[in-house]
Amino acid sequence: MKDTSAQVEALLRRRYMEMSGEQRFVAGARMFEAARTLVLASAPPGLSDDEIRQFLCIRFYGEQDAARMRK
């Protein structure tokens, strides 16, 4: 699904390319942390630390990849 116009994509790409490597890294880390926070908000209450890690893994990577990572 693509809901961003080509003009906006070009603008964003140009802005990201104007950033230093460190700035892009920090932006990516912040985006990941925001996604993690949103996913955790949907977790059932009362999960243990291990269950939270498993829940995050499944939500980010899918059931099959999460199962491979547990091996």
DSSP 44: P
Predicted confidence band at 63 (pLDDT cuts at 50, 70, 90)? confident
Instruction: Indicate whether 9 pLDDT > 90.
Output: yes
Cα gap 43→22, rounded to integer Å: 32
- Report the pLDDT value the prediction gives residue 48, as an integer from 0 to 100: 96
Would you state the pLDDT for residue 1?
Answer: 73
Domain ranges of the chain: 6-70
pLDDT of residue 66: 79
Give the Cα separation of 34 and 19 in Å (integer).
20
Summarised one tens digit per residue, pLDDT across range 11-57 is 999 999 999 999 999 999 999 999 999 999 999 999 999 999 999 99
| Residue 58 C-alpha from the chain's centroid | 12
What is the DSSP-derived secondary structure letter of residue 47? -
